[in-house]
Structure 1
Amino acid sequence: MKKSLLALAVSGAFAVSAHAQSSVTLYGLIDTGIVYTNNQTGHSAWQMATSSTQNTVFGLKGSEDLGGGLHAVFKLEQGFNLNNGTQAFSGDGFGSQAWVGLQSDPYGTVTFGRQFDVVNDLLGPLSAESNTWGGNIAAHPFENDNLAADSVVVNNTVKYVSPTIAGITGEAMYSFSNAAGGFANNRVYGFSVGYSQGPVNLAAGYLQFNNPGGGVLGTNPNGAIAVKDGSANFIAERQRIWGAGGNYTFGPATVGLVWSHTQIDNMASVISLGTGNYMPLGGTLRLDNFEVNAKYALTPALTLSAAYTYTDGAYSDGATNATPGWNTVMLQTDYSLSKRTDVYLEGVYQNVHGAPAGSVLGDAMINTLSPSSTSTQVAVTVGIRHAF
């Protein structure tokens, strides 16, 4: 009897120890508000919106200590639309993120599943469009460089993240097409590197999509970049993204510069995130985004931020050549009610010029909204965010 009690006590102690070395956390973020737009498809609009700045999500994340500096890690995250309860990625149970992997303290982390890309991971946080002080509504035209918080999420991804050494972190990824006989048909690969020491943050990276959304022929629409759930921004033969940026913090102020270059070859269509519809657009499109951003903490609770992006474009479909340009301006003020709840007022202005007549490129289209019927669009949103 005593031996049995001793064995039970020992096994209980091991169970408590194992439990203490593992963790599972339920978390989430809710972002909702009212948006006024001066022109959406020819009409002004007052709308209740969700995820204007940050993605509205809930999820589970966890870690298990395997010993020797090795951990099993996972994340399951679902995005949703607060105003009507629908899925942000239609038909996906965990469309925002779904991955599992191994983390080694000395050697880095390898993860497998549906994940954000490596350029979004390291360069995104240096852009206003990836942060609470700007966010999704402040994205570059057509969200062409995947830097916003609502960016493309990539299927079938193997990602490696290095440990941080002397402030330097590197990432690399490969996303399989999962198509029999079509290894390169709708695949993704890329790499990035970041540096963070004291007030200085720098990052750069490269990303390539082959036949995103199945490409012009649509032969593998749900490979690495899926069509059915709205993950794709462009349907094309190839999309390549280069980018670099940095910011510097001094006292309550942070200023930053970001450049990104997007090259889209042999397009079939571009997607309007606001409407979810595909708009036919053939040819090739090159976009260079030049962003300057700044934020300033007036008090620990009150922050002002601004960003200006000039997007220089070049378009050709053989018969038509054009050099469209976009001016996008964002202003925001944010007030923290607590560590987990804040309210914000944000305005975004976009104007496009030089686009081909009658082309979707000629209509201003602020991210998350339906396109304007003219070359100019203005949106103002007042919202509340709560993290848990």
Structure 2
Amino acid sequence: MKKSLLAIAALTAFAGAAQAQSSVTVYGLVDVGVMGQSNSNMLNGSTGGTSAGYGGSGSASYPRNGNSFGFMQGGQSASRLGFKGQEDLGGGTKAIFTLEQGVNMDNGSQFATGLPGNGKTTVGMGNMSNTGDSSNQGQLFNRGAYAGLSNDKWGTLTLGRQQTLMLDNIGGYDPVNAQQFSPLAFSGQFGGGGTTDNARANGAIKLKEKIMGFDVNALYAPGGYAGNNGVGTRLEGQIGYEAAKWGVQALTSYQEDATALAGTTYGSGLPAGAVVPGNNTAAAGGAGASSIPTTAGTNQVNATVYNARSATLTGKWSPMDKLWLKAGFQYINLGVPSNFQYVSGQPVLPNGSGFSVFSYTAATNPQIKNTFWLGANYDFTPAIKGSLGYYQQNALQNGTATNQANAATTGALSGRTTYISAMAEYYMSKRTNLYAAASQVNFTGAAQSPSQGFSGGPTSATINQQFTYGLGMRHTF
């Protein structure tokens, strides 16, 4: 009897030890609220119900010269559900994995940012599409799907769909780190090194480690194309240092054949036997390109292909216990793609979203964007935090390399966008906070866009500013 009891006790202890060495955690975040916006498209109209952003001329729903008020999700942080696990392998080494999915809180669907294909009408206020070029377009685990090894001495090596180093870095150096109220916080062009579709890297190998206190990180995503291994290849590097009262990070990124997506007006789609523009392969039936409609159809988008180069420098400093000052600069160069003849024949977007490409267009003129920002965070009390930020992006005039060089000396700009953002947070607990935020955006030059006019409604007008405000609640679990 005693032996049996001892055996049971030993097995129980062993099982407990094994359980401690291997674990899986379910985690998530929900963020909901209400918001108002001037010169807005519809706030709740996309496939996933994402709140509206400023709509450019490539969008099916241009901004309207009127105000809107509606549901807001992800005002501060994108809602998500995730699974992460680890197994202790001994010697300071762990096997790790993460699977993370974005969630739309207004209708419970997978997160998608409103590219064409939602089946809504484009007539009048029934136009429910939204500007939605991002790295999350409806993939099952669109926010992350990777596994790897972590070692106390050698750092962490992961493989799979992951955030870029650019996107990893921005959150800690954005003065108003709120998705709907900061141009940096949305996983867009700043995290993608120039094109928002690339803020997350598919099939990437990522190494993050500390060497003598310095952050030394790298990311490599091979293209995987037979005959030309450079197609779609992405390279990133980062070096930085963070102490208790300050931090500085420098990053660089290069991607061949990066795609920028454009939502378009809905059409009847490709007829049988049509030739996709930019694709030399005809469908069954052999119909010529003359039969192709001028607009994309259901689940189809337009894509512009670039070689994207970017460099980012960020810094933060705490001159007193309750105050953090933050600033940054990012240089983006969108150039002519290296391997357009390979990319143009792909029937489905390289991000794995399932959207097919109606038209691939190779960028023919370089485009340079310089963005800087500065701001501050201040803790009024342990529960109340305030944030203020200023952001400005200058887009140099498109043209030849000579014109670009002249633009740098003459100051010629094709457009300028400025943001002034503010947010106040009240923490009811460590996991739950309320927030109020507002952002004023001003557009000059080519950054301006016409509003959408339609029969029986407002006529088209030039939009040069947009004001957004919102109240929300965020809870983590």
TM-score by length of 1: 0.81
Q: CA separation in 2, counterparts of 1:377 and 1:278?
A: 31
Work out whether 1:144 is the aligned partner of 2:189. Answer: yes
Q: CA separation in 2, counterparts of 1:203 and 1:217?
A: 39
Q: How far has the Cα of 1:118 moved from its partner?
A: 1.2
Work out whether 1:239 is the aligned partner of 2:291. Answer: no
Work out whether 1:121 is the aligned partner of 2:168. Answer: yes
Q: CA separation in 1, counterparts of 2:32 and 2:228?
A: 41
Write the letter of the residue equivalent to 1:362.
Answer: Q
Q: CA separation in 2, counterparts of 1:364 and 1:310?
A: 21
Q: CA separation in 2, counterparts of 1:118 and 1:28?
A: 22
For 1:209, the equivalent position in structure 2 comes to 255
For 2:289, the equivalent position in structure 1 comes to none
Q: CA separation in 2, counterparts of 1:31 and 1:164?
A: 36
Work out whether 1:380 is the aligned partner of 2:473. Answer: no
The 8 Å contact of residues 136 and 150 in structure 1, kept in 2 or not, is answered as no
Work out whether 1:328 is the aligned partner of 2:351. Answer: no
Q: CA separation in 2, counterparts of 1:53 and 1:150?
A: 21
Deviations 1:295-337 (A, max 9, x none): 1111111111110012121131469984311111101111111
Q: CA separation in 2, counterparts of 1:47 and 1:285?
A: 35
Note closer, same or farther for the CA distance 1:324–1:65 as it changes in structure 2 (3 Å cut). same
Q: How far has the Cα of 1:170 moved from its partner?
A: 1.2
For 1:61, the equivalent position in structure 2 comes to 84
Q: How far has the Cα of 1:107 moved from its partner?
A: 0.9
Match of 1:50 among 73, 91, 95: 73
Note closer, same or farther for the CA distance 1:171–1:61 as it changes in structure 2 (3 Å cut). same
Number of matched residues? 355
Q: CA separation in 1, counterparts of 2:358 and 2:278?
A: 15
Work out whether 1:195 is the aligned partner of 2:230. Answer: no
Structure 2 SS opposite 1:190: strand
Q: How far has the Cα of 1:5 moved from its partner?
A: 6.7
Q: CA separation in 2, counterparts of 1:91 and 1:123?
A: 23
For 1:358, the equivalent position in structure 2 comes to none
Structure 1 SS opposite 2:69: strand
Structure 1 segment 199-348 matched on structure 2, within 5 A:
199-213=245-259, 235-249=304-318, 250-266=320-336, 283-317=365-399, 322-348=413-439
Unaligned runs of 5+ in 1: 220-229, 269-275, 356-360, 366-371
Moved over 4 A (4+): 1-9, 147-151, 214-219, 276-282, 317-322
For 1:363, the equivalent position in structure 2 comes to 449
Q: CA separation in 1, counterparts of 2:153 and 2:379?
A: 36
Note closer, same or farther for the CA distance 1:28–1:150 as it changes in structure 2 (3 Å cut). farther
Q: How far has the Cα of 1:186 moved from its partner?
A: 1.8
Structure number with greater Rg is 2
Q: CA separation in 2, counterparts of 1:294 and 1:278?
A: 44
For 2:29, the equivalent position in structure 1 comes to 29
Note closer, same or farther for the CA distance 1:304–1:150 as it changes in structure 2 (3 Å cut). farther
Aligned-pair Cα RMSD in Å? 3.5
For 1:158, the equivalent position in structure 2 comes to 205
Deviations 1:79-133 (A, max 9, x none): 011111221234411110111100111111110111001122234421235x3xx
Q: How far has the Cα of 1:196 moved from its partner?
A: 1.0
Percent identity reads 26
For 1:172, the equivalent position in structure 2 comes to 218
Structure 2 SS opposite 1:114: strand
